[in-house]
Structure 1
Amino acid sequence: MRLRFGLALLPLVLATGLGAETAATELAPAFAAEEGNSSPFAFAKSGAKAARAAVADTAGAKVIGGEIAAEGAWPWQVALLVGGTPVGTDTQFCGGSLVMDEWVLTAAHCVHWKGDDGTFADLLPQDIEVLVGTNELSPGRGDLIEVEAVFKHPSYVGTQFDFDIALVKLARAPMVPYQTIEVPDGEFGDILNKQGVTTVVTGWGLQEGAMPSPELRQAQIQILDRDLCNNAMMEARAEDAAGGFTYAAQTLGVAEQDAYAIWDELVARAPLPVSENMICSGTFEGGKTSCNGDSGGPLVVPLDDGSYIQAGIVSWGLTATTGKGCEETALFSAYTNISKFVPWLNQVIAANP
């Protein structure tokens, strides 16, 4: 008799529209790893990013559902490029934001990656250059600045997604017009991280059909409840796992009652994909989110006075069912919740004047 596992173990709140089928793909950092590269830096340095751009039917890296940002918009946005290479879409591997004149906030997975020997290490300062003061990835635009130091969060592990935050210290302040962006403290961060709060994600990357675009793009999305995002993903994972578990229980002759108890324990022990250090943001209708190439870029919230504050850092999304690129119909992506890390940011900056 086939065991029947009703997935009421982790009930999905269907009224939200976050159907489990939208989360049935695997998690992946917000860059394309389908070429076998272990990081966005390796992907760009190897030439695979340029090669993928030539394949018209490959999912692209972009701010999905976005539009080209106006010149001068988002003046804190920067691009991380492979050091010593020409400015362009093929050598840009991550985004970032200026939080002080010489300090860039980005994702840890942008600067900490697995080398050929299988071990993880931080990128060296000379591996990176930062383009400031332009929305266009073209030679002669903006100010290309060398890096003095790289600091990833000490709790970040390259094989996981939590604590995905890093600081990059520039060798000098930019010599072109720019602005810095403020980040919220813990109390204000809790206020911002509420369902329905409007957010804007910005980044560079490829367009539909993997056609490269040098223009910065923007998309307006909203904060989604963390529990709803977790429920959707956990139900999808449980559906994927139930068949194999049923087969194992039958093969081993486990009694149905015992199998249910083991299943409950197994699901209860599974880690939630969207941790308290993350923000879930997207849309209920889908089709607007961050994607490959946007890693490390800012998720900002517009305030009543017309200014902006950076709530999140582009961290991870869902891999497309084809295994190539991101899931372009995904309802949400995950962003590092900066407000959880303000003490660490202050500590690093104070210790490295």
Structure 2
Amino acid sequence: MSRLLSALIAALLATSVMAEAPQIATSDPMIASPFAYAKSGAKAERGRSAAEAGAKVIGGEVAPDGAWPWQVALLVGGAPINTDAQFCGGSMVLDRWVLTAAHCIHMPIEDGSFADLRPDEVSILVGTNTLTPGSGDLIPVETIFRHPSYTGTQFDFDIALIKLARAPQVPYQTVEVPDAEYGDILNRQGVTTIVTGWGLQEGAQPSPQLRQAEIQVLDRQLCNQAMLEARAEDAAGGFGYAVQTLGVAETDAYAIWDELVARAPDAVSDNMICSGTFEGGKTSCNGDSGGPLVVPVEGGGYIQAGIVSWGLSATSGHGCEETALFSAYTNISKFVPWLNEVIEGNP
């Protein structure tokens, strides 16, 4: 048990009154889908309120015109091209294939289960960095493929493919993805990465312009330790109250706590990349879900190492934690066999 967690339990055992559990920054896989958020009008409503932090590439800058030509926007099907209709990002990996996150196309429904979006519920905007009417090429979707191991109740296996009804009719480029061996090289601490996406800016003001931020791969074990301590701090209040209420002996309480912490699964799994900055303040946020995390390669060009998967919720309960050290990205190199199987099986 770390000294931080031990101190937390000791403090809780020493008091007779449980304080309100602190609201910490943590990942929340049970939130409503980005699609439902945009379709409901909640995104537009939050964009009109300058009091709330917005979803954006935190600490980023506006991308130059023509930069990141593989970047696409997922829009609510049938909606006009604007920031309110955009709910996720993606990348062109072949002329009719878009790579995105599974949580962008797999959403909770009224009975509590999850279901994939229908193709007619999504349109893909290609060939533009600006979400304005008349920009780019808005393309219907033919088929949606979610990784079969993604369940909707957690963020592991957070990857999906979208087949377009036709090839884009505007200038664009596809981006390469790494195989398993190259992926291991890219997923090392200190490797430079760039995340791109659309979203609300400071003060929750909507921006139609694509943004970019340079960050770096962080050690996955360090990210998991940070997440474990944050989640344990949030859980400690309830645990201390239960111990006091049930009259559990202090030595037993420590043993039970150690067992709980030991059984907690890693937040950042082997299928994920942890990327951010040691000083914080540069990361992706929920409006960027499904978008690419790319790595510059020798000789020029980029390779897509990750897909924006999940970040940290703001302590206010609104938006994202703007001082967060990192976000998690699906490690594409772990899923190349599945990508090949889907694409080859659906010519």
TM-score (norm 1): 0.91
In the TM superposition, residue 159 of structure 1 has moved relative to its aligned partner by 1.3
In structure 2, what is the equivalent of residue 216 of structure 1? 210
The answer (yes or no) to whether the contact 1:24–1:233 under 8 Å persists in 2 is no
| C-alpha displacement of 1:233 | 1.1
- Contact 2:197 2:212 survives alignment (8 Å): yes
Alignment RMSD (CA, Å): 1.8
Measured at CA, do residues 101 and 151 of structure 1 come closer, stay the same or move farther in structure 2, by a change above 3 Å? same
Partner of 1:25: 25
Which residue of the other structure, out of 320, 331, 338, is the alignment partner of 1:337? Answer: 331
Q: Look up the match of 1:276.
A: 270
Alignment-derived partner of residue 160 in structure 1 = 154
Deviation at 1:8, TM superposition (A): 6.2
How many angstroms apart in 2 are the aligned matches of 1:7 and 1:58? 31
1:326 aligned to which of 320, 338, 344: 320
Is 2:26–2:227's contact at 8 Å kept on the other side of the alignment? no
- Equivalent position of 1:205 in the other structure: 199
SS of residue in 2 equivalent to 1:212 = coil
Q: Which runs of 5 or more structure 2 residues have no equivalent in the other structure? A: 7-22
Identical positions, percent: 76
- Counterpart contact for 2:24–2:314, Cα < 8 Å: no
Q: Distance in 2 between matches of 1:82 and 1:146?
A: 11
Tell me the residue number matched to 2:294. 300
1:84 paired to 2:81: no
- Once the two structures are TM-superposed, the CA of residue 240 in structure 1 deviates from its matched residue by 2.3
Structure 2 counterpart of 1:16: none
Partner of 2:17: none
Contact 1:7 1:238 in 2 (8 A): no
Q: Equivalent residue for 1:14?
A: none
**What pairs up with 1:198-277 in 2 under 5 angstroms?**
198-277=192-271
Matching residue of 1:103: 97
Query: Does structure 2 conserve the Cα–Cα contact (< 8 Å) formed by 1:203 and 1:218?
Result: yes
* Alignment partners' CA distance in 2, 1:117 and 1:8: 38
Residue 183 (structure 1) aligns with: 177
Number of positions where the alignment pairs a residue of Structure 1 with one of Structure 2? 332
Distance in 1 separating the partners of 2:343 and 2:183: 20
Determine which of 31, 46, 51 is the counterpart of 1:52: 46
SS of 1:213's partner is coil
Q: Equivalents in 1 of 2:212, 2:310: separation in Å? A: 17
Q: Does 1:143 align with 2:137?
A: yes
SS, match of residue 98 in structure 1: strand
Aligned-pair distance for 1:6? Answer: 4.0
Once the two structures are TM-superposed, the CA of residue 5 in structure 1 deviates from its matched residue by: 8.6
Give yes or no for the alignment of 1:290 onto 2:284: yes
Which residue of structure 1 lines up, in the alignment, with residue 65 of structure 2? 71
**Distance in 1 of aligned mates of 2:279 and 2:3:** 27
CA distance, structure 2, for counterparts of residue 48 and residue 237 of structure 1: 28
In the superposition, relative to structure 1, how do residues 263 and 135 fare at CA in structure 2: closer, same or farther (>3 Å)?
A: same
Deviations 1:234-276 (A, max 9, x none): 0122222223223322332323222222111111111111001
2:37 maps to 1:43? yes
Partner of 2:165: 171
SS of residue matched to 1:28:
coil
**Whole-angstrom CA distance in 2 between matches of 1:56 and 1:218:** 22
Residues 70-89 of structure 1, C-alpha deviations (whole Å, 9 max, x = no match): 11100000000011110010
C-alpha deviations, 1:130-185, integer Å up to 9, x for none?
00000001111111100000001000011111110000000011111111001011
Equivalent pair of 2:5/2:232 in contact (CA under 8 Å): no
Partner of 2:208: helix, strand, or coil?
strand
SS at match of 1:285: coil
The question of whether the paired residues in 1 share the 8 Å contact of 2:276 and 2:282 is answered with yes
Supply the AA of the counterpart residue of 2:224: N
